[in-house]
Amino acid sequence: MRTFGGFLTIPLTFSYYSKIIFFLFLFQVGYTRISEVFSKFQSALERGQILPKSGLTETWELELVHSNIKYSVMVNKFGPINYLVRLNDSVVTTIVRELGNGTLIIIYSHQAYTCHLEEEVRGFVLIFVGGMGERFGT
């Protein structure tokens, strides 16, 4: 394991490209889940329903295993465009801008990445501007 992008520790067996893809994938899934919670809450309020605040969260957590290594992932929104991503004991912050078409500009380690996540039956596809994509799932 080593530090990548300033603070995030990802196994040495990952190539530089794979580390960026892995980070963007984890972030995109967390971002999508947090956004869905807020959207459902807002929709209920617009219909006149009052939902308990307990379901409203700005944090998404997941544990996953890759090559027999367990990863504990947390994505937390702490400002209008600021997010914190924790992978095991490593932490990074990102700045995110959402474009009108659902595409995100994610600023991480002084570089901007433009991509969006598509959820499919068998997993996810992370698509970058220009059409290149990476598939995650079963």
pLDDT at position 64 over 50: yes
Q: What are the residue ranges spanned by the domains of the chain?
A: 2-137
More confident residue, 8 or 44: 44
| Three-state DSSP class for residue 121 | coil
What are residue 4's phi and psi, to 5 degrees? Answer: -130, 135
Assigned token pair, 106: 């994610």
Query: 6: pLDDT confidence band, cut at 50, 70 and 90?
Result: very low
Dump pLDDT digits (tens) for 13-62. Answer: 556 666 777 777 778 888 888 888 888 888 998 999 888 877 778 898 88
Query: 138: pLDDT confidence band, cut at 50, 70 and 90?
Result: very low
Question: Is there a contact between 85 and 75 (Cβ–Cβ < 8 Å)?
Answer: yes
Task: Give the Cβ contact number of residue 18 at 10 Å.
Answer: 13
Dump pLDDT digits (tens) for 102-114. Answer: 788 888 888 888 8
Q: What's the confidence (pLDDT) of residue 48? A: 92
Q: What's the confidence (pLDDT) of residue 136? A: 62
* CB burial string 72-110: b at 16+ within 10 A, e below: ebbbbbeeeeebbbbbeebebebebeeeeeeebebebee
